[in-house]
Chains A and B, each alone.
Chain A
Amino acid sequence: MTISTPAPNPARFIRADGPDKVTGSGRYTADLTLTGMLAAKFKYAGIAHGRITRLDTTAAKAIPGVFAVLTQADVPNVRFGGFVQDRTLFADGVVRFEAEIVAAVAAVDAATAQRAVDAIVVEYEPLPVVNDPEAALTADAPLVHTDWASYGASGALVRERNDASFSSIAKGDVDRGMAEAAVVVRSRYDADGCHAAPIEPRAIVAQWEGDKVTIWTTTQVPYDARAGVCETLELPANRVRIIVPHLGGGFGGKCGFHFEAHIAALAKAARRPVRLLFSRREEFLAPDKRRESICYDFETGVSSDGRIVARRVTMVLDNGAYTADAGFFSQLGAMHALGPYRIPNLLAEAHLAYTNHQPSGSVRAPTAPQTCWALESHTDEVARAIGMDPVAFRQLNAVDTGAEGPSGQTYGEIGVQECIERAARMAGYGQQLPGDEAIGVAIGWWPSFAVPSGAYVKIDGDGSAQIITGAQECGTGSVMTLPQLAADELGMSAADFQLVYQDTSVAPYDMGATGSQTLFNNGRAVIAAAAQIAEQLRALAADHLEADPADIVLANGQAFVAGTPDRAVPIATLAGIAAGGELLIGHGSGMPPGPPPISGSTCVGDAGVAAWVAPQFSCHAVRVKLDRDTGVARIMHVAAAHDSGTIINPLGAEGQVQGGVLMGIGQALTEGTSYDNEAHQRNAGLLDYKLQTCADAPPMDIHFVQINTPNAGPHGAKGLAEAPNVATAAAIANAIAQLVGAPVRQLPMTAERVWDALQEVAQNTIGGAA
């Protein structure tokens, strides 16, 4: 069943952490100070690839006010990594990217710590710099990890030399499909890497008491951070407590395990609390989370009636120097390169190439926006080649309810076709436009991630309630939505609930603010926990009202007998009764829905992301105005239609789409990391890496195609935080291509690149005329 977006509710949801945030009273990690706290600084490699021939910390340690200087020799000899154990806390004899940490200092203040960092002597034997992911895969390329074969790794990965993860998806007979196609179109696209760039730079505070350490940190994934500390410092989980104060945005950049163990080790050695505050430059260079650059070679064959009959795509992703959480990106990227289309014959091959760049990792919908940009640009080329309207081409070829996707998954009820229709209509697709304006259209998709998650709910004797959850709030409001779910289950008001969250020693496990999974999975956990209390309340009320528990209804803060609302007792009264007997405490987790079946495809290097639980779909249609003299593109209007299942918090959902679209505009036009010949980032600052401002942001129209999806999250909800970031850059590209007369084959499509494409078209035109 499809229902249209409900009219805006005047009593729309106001987030519980809001007052902290607008008054300045909310504490973020950098706002914390502890008595005796020291400042931490890192010594970075400064070169992209080299063997350490001398490392001397003597002079640094001698500086008054320096409490600890640590190198790899001072911590357990542990090689870690979720997919490939290719990394150590500090450089282990070789540095492999410019911001690899060689040593760490704790000193009485930041200036003293910096002096100590400068006094550390490191000498290197330079090693050849691997600066190009495609070149890294050639037979004679220097190895980034000479010991790659001996590293521990996930059994699902297919690895060979600089290829850290090869993945392929095959179906049908791609050669025969191409041979039978009426038209075959080939395209090359190159997307630069880019950054999450949350406005809050990373901060970490660590303090030991006896053999236990508490770490306050800016992580999106507290349990993952804890696991990293436990693994690298060889500690049991119950002696490491991760607390996240308010988190100032993440966008994936604060996923994974970062510097918590370094700061904990410093605090232990210094016998003092230690705080790390990142500068904006460090924020750009050091984390192992940067959106991967990818290059693509596409080949698509279509029949004379416009149906896709075959697709072949080869892609090379930049892994950077260490694999971090990018191990599954090759398969995920392959899925995005094939796209939400019906394709009988296909072969996608993706390689994750080690280079001497900053490591890649989850940034909002990893692999998706850049791959959607490349695929959907290619799709417009295909449509044009057979003389079809790009929207009609997508309507003909996109998957639909009951259709089979590229990996052989058959979808239940999905809203992709309605997204296309809605976005085109909201954008006024087909209208007469001035000569310097065009509307581009693109479709995108993204999985929901079904994973374990836990929560407690309790109601105290006065009738006030708490949700104690392992879930992490990074700004999206998904944790803030949990009280609504518990309130619905218990017939109470969301305002009756206070949240205790993002503390690993207090609440059960949750995967964190990653994979758009919080509401999907922790929502299930909170409902399950609340359901336990609901059962207790019904038993208490039945006793109190002399009725059958099965007849008790919980609503409006009361328990009453069905059909006779005057036989009622306030829930607060029942809570008072429970306080003298069996307490009202619920715990919940619930089984996550299992992966859907796939058939007919062959997946090599199967990281488990070819079968998508509750897939989300979107279509964006963007009107762009182009100044042909300068190559400057201005976004005039964005229409975004999304199938993310049932929308539980419309205000928050709109905010996710608006923010995701604007990030997509940045990725389309300005956000790209540039490397020099020695693999140093050229634009590691907000002046040269330009985010979109308020004055740049266009008007947007948003529509949610709401389908109550089975085997999804609470009330049929899917994820939402990442999906809005997928299709925007692609839609912009398709508008720009119309205005230029050819696609711009590099992302971001900066004014310079657009201008170059305009000149090339002009030259070809003149050449053709001559």
Chain B
Amino acid sequence: MSESIILSVNGMQYPVTIDQGRNLLSVIRGEVGLTGTKEGCDDCECGACMVLLDGQPVNSCSYLAMQAQGREITTVEGVLIGDAMHPLQRNLLAAGGVQCGFCTPGMIMSATALLQRTPAPTEEEVRVGLSGNLCRCTGYTKIVEAVQRTAAELQGS
């Protein structure tokens, strides 16, 4: 059964009419039209679909779009600061933490939530914090480096 709801994504209000059973991922990619959030498994195992709901990381493949009403959804497209890259995005590139890039959006959302929660994480905290996001390319080393560099940069500012 379809219902009309309003989703708030990256600070914009999106009126959408959707079947009640739709997951948030498919609505973000389809109706909202933001394809930065990826589908890798549709089963909460890979983390490619991770978005923030009121700042908390959620696998959007396994979350009903209806439940996201009234909450602020942040996707990778909402991480830019104006037209400039967020330090995390810049550091991922500088450290070489991006190869195929398919896990990158989910990884960025996970790391963003981690740094909000733990502004100066230890390496172990970074590794555990990102363990819900699978990357097949990098071996994670350079991603961890990028998150640590970002933490240092944000702490210093």
A and B found bound together: yes
- Which residues in chain A, 209-259, are within 8 Å of chain B measured between CB atoms? 246-251
B50 at interface by CB-CB < 8 Å: no
**Per-residue CB proximity of A20-31 to B under 8 Å, as 1/0?**
111111111011
CB neighbours of A658 from chain B (8 A) = 138-142
Contact A24/B77 with A199-B46, A686-B43 known, Cβ cut-off 8 Å? yes
User: What is the CB-to-nearest-CB distance from B128 to chain A, in angstroms, rounded to a whole number?
Assistant: 5
Q: Are B136 and A663 in contact (CB under 8 A)?
A: yes
Alpha-carbon gap, A197 to B140, bound state (A): 16
B139 touches A661 (CB 8 A): yes
Q: How far is the CA of A457 from the CA of B102 in the complex (A)?
A: 29
A residues 633-664 in Cβ contact with B at 8 Å:
651-652, 654-655, 657-663
Residue of A nearest to B77 (CB): A24
Residues of A close to B126: CB separation below 8 A: 694
Q: Is the CB of B131 within 8 A of A694?
A: yes
Residues on B with C-beta less than 8 A from A654 are 96, 142
Contact B100 A247 (CB under 8 A): yes
A198 and B135 within 8 A (CB): no
Nearest A residue to B40 via CB reads A199
Q: Are B102 and A248 in contact (CB under 8 A)?
A: yes
Main secondary structure of the interface of A (DSSP, over half): loop
Kindly state whether residue B99 has any CB partner on chain A within 8 Å: yes
Q: Which residue of A lies closest to B30 (CB)?
A: A33
Given A475-B101, A662-B140: A693 and B131 interface contact (C-beta under 8 Å): yes
Contact at A248–B100, with CB atoms within 8 Å?
A: yes
CA distance A200 to B101 in the complex (A): 10
Q: For the complex, is A600 an interface residue (Cβ under 8 Å from B)? A: no
A280 contacts B by Cβ under 8 Å: yes
Provided the pairs A697-B127, A697-B139 are in contact, do residues A685 and B43 lie with their beta carbons within 8 angstroms? yes
**A178 CB to nearest chain B CB (Å):** 41
Chain B positions 27-50 with a Cβ under 8 Å from a chain A Cβ: 29, 34-43, 45-46, 48
* Residues of chain B within 8 A of A695, CB atoms compared: 127-128, 130-131
CB-based contact B40/A19 at 8 Å = no
Binds B, one of A9-17, A348-356, A447-455: A9-17
A201 in contact (CB, < 8 A): yes
Cα of A700 to Cα of B142 in the assembled complex, Å: 11
Across the interface, name the chain B residue whose C-beta is closest to A702.
Answer: B141
Given that A201-B40, A248-B101, A694-B130 are contacting pairs, would A14 and B94 also be in contact in the complex, using a CB cutoff of 8 Å? Answer: yes
- Which residues A462-493 have CB closer than 8 A to chain B? 474-477
Tell me, yes or no, whether A430 is within 8 Å of chain B by CB.
no
Given the complex of chains A and B, what is the CA–CA distance between A662 and B143 in angstroms?
A: 14
- Bound Cα distance A201, B80 (Å): 27
Contact partner of B98 (CB less than 8 A), chosen from A18, A198, A250, A697, is A18
Q: Is B60 an interface residue, CB under 8 A from the partner?
A: no
Known contacts A200-B38, A694-B144: A687-B43 contact under CB 8 Å:
yes
Nearest residue (CB) in B for A693 is B131
The verdict on A687 contacting B45 (CB below 8 Å), with A15-B98, A18-B93, A654-B96 known, is: yes
Among the listed B34, B101, B136, which residue makes an inter-chain contact with A26, where contact means beta carbons less than 8 Å apart?
B101
- A764, CB-defined interface residue at 8 Å: no
Judging by beta carbons under 8 Å apart, are B41 and A280 in contact? yes
| CB closest chain-A residue, reference B104 | A21
Tell whether, in the assembled complex, residue B142 and residue A655 are in contact, meaning their CB atoms are under 8 Å apart. yes
A396 in the interface (beta carbon within 8 A):
no
Q: Is the interface of B mostly helix, strand, loop or mixed?
A: loop
**How far, in angstroms, from A679 to B34 measured CA to CA in the complex?**
40
**How many A-B residue contacts, CB cutoff 8 Å?**
170
Contact in complex: B131, A249 (CB < 8 Å): no
- Find chain A residues with CB under 8 A from B29 CB: 31
B35, B45, B127: the one contacting A685 at CB < 8 Å is B45
Q: A23-B77, A662-B140, A693-B134 are in contact. Are A655 and B38 (CB under 8 A)?
A: no
Assess whether A691 is interfacial by the CB under 8 Å rule.
Answer: yes
Against A, the Cβ 8 Å flags (1 = close, 0 = not) of B102-145 are 11110010000000000000000011101111111111111110
A12 CB contacts on chain B under 8 angstroms: 94, 96
On chain B, the number of residues with a Cβ less than 8 Å from chain A's Cβ atoms is: 52
Please report the C-alpha to C-alpha distance between residue A279 and residue B137 in the assembled complex, in whole angstroms.
20
CA distance A657 to B99 in the complex (A): 13
Q: Which of A19, A247, A659 contacts B85 (CB 8 A)?
A: A19
- On whether the beta carbons of A652 and B100 are closer than 8 Å, the reply is no
CA distance A28 to B35 in the complex (A): 9
Beta-carbon contact of B42 and A280 below 8 Å = yes
A23-B77, A199-B48 in contact; A280/B96 too (CB < 8 A)? Answer: no
Contact call A475/B99, Cβ cutoff below 8 A: yes
Q: Is B76 an interface residue (CB 8 A)?
A: yes
Q: Does B148 contact A (CB under 8 A)?
A: no
- Identity of the chain A residue whose Cβ is nearest the Cβ of B19 in the assembled complex: A111
Select A198's contact among B42, B93, B102, B128, beta carbons within 8 Å. Answer: B102
Q: Give every chain B residue within 8 A of A199 (Cβ-Cβ).
A: 38, 40, 46, 48, 100, 102-103, 134-136
Contact across chains for A15 and B93 when beta carbons are under 8 A apart: yes
Option from B45, B75, B144 in Cβ contact (under 8 Å) with A686: B45
Q: Determine the distance from Cα of A249 to Cα of B99 in the docked complex, in whole angstroms.
A: 8
Cα distance A651–B104 when bound, in Å? Answer: 17
**A249-B137, A280-B43 known; A21 vs B94 contact (CB < 8 Å):** no
Q: In the complex, which of the residues A31, A475, A661, A693 contacts B35, with contact meaning CB atoms closer than 8 Å?
A: A31
CA gap between A200 and B43 in the complex, in Å: 14
Residues 675-693 of A contacting B (Cβ, < 8 Å):
685-687, 691, 693
Look across to chain A and name the residue whose beta carbon is closest to the beta carbon of B89. A22
Residue from the set B42, B104, B130, B131 with the largest chain A CB neighbour count within 10 Å: B104
Given the complex of chains A and B, what is the CA–CA distance between A657 and B138 in angstroms? 8
Contact (Cβ within 8 A) B100 A23: no
Contact of B73 with A by CB under 8 A: no
Answer yes or no: B68 CB below 8 A from chain A CBs: no
CB distance from B81 to the nearest CB of A (A): 11
Pair A197/B102 contact, Cβ less than 8 Å = no
Separation of A28 and B37 alpha carbons in the complex (Å): 11
Structural contact, A200 and B40, CB atoms closer than 8 A: yes
- Establish whether residues B98 and A21, one from each chain, have CB atoms under 8 Å apart when the complex forms: yes
Residues 79-97 of chain B: 1 if any A CB is under 8 Å from the residue's CB, otherwise 0?
A: 1100001000100111010
* Contact, CB under 8 Å: B99 / A476: yes
Contact status A700-B137, CB under 8 Å: no
Q: In the bound complex, what is the Cα–Cα distance between A28 and B48 (angstroms)? A: 13
**A24–B102 touching, CB < 8 Å:** no
| CB closest chain-A residue, reference B75 | A24
Q: How far is the CB of B39 from chain A (nearest CB, A)?
A: 7
User: Taking the nearest CB of chain A, how far is it from the CB of B134, in angstroms?
Assistant: 5
Decide: A28 near B102, CB < 8 A? Known: A14-B93, A659-B136: yes
Question: Residue among A20, A197, A200, A474 with the most chain B CB within 10 A?
Answer: A200
17 sample A-B contacts, Cβ–Cβ < 8 Å, listed by A number:
A14-B93, A19-B93, A21-B104, A24-B34, A25-B36, A31-B35, A199-B100, A200-B40, A246-B101, A249-B102, A475-B100, A476-B99, A477-B99, A655-B142, A658-B139, A693-B130, A693-B132
Closest 9 CB pairs of A and B: A24-B36, A475-B100, A21-B101, A248-B102, A658-B139, A24-B76, A662-B139, A31-B35, A475-B99
For the complex with contacts A21-B101, A700-B139, 6 further pairs of A-B residues with Cβ separation under 8 Å are A18-B101, A22-B101, A199-B100, A201-B39, A655-B142, A694-B140
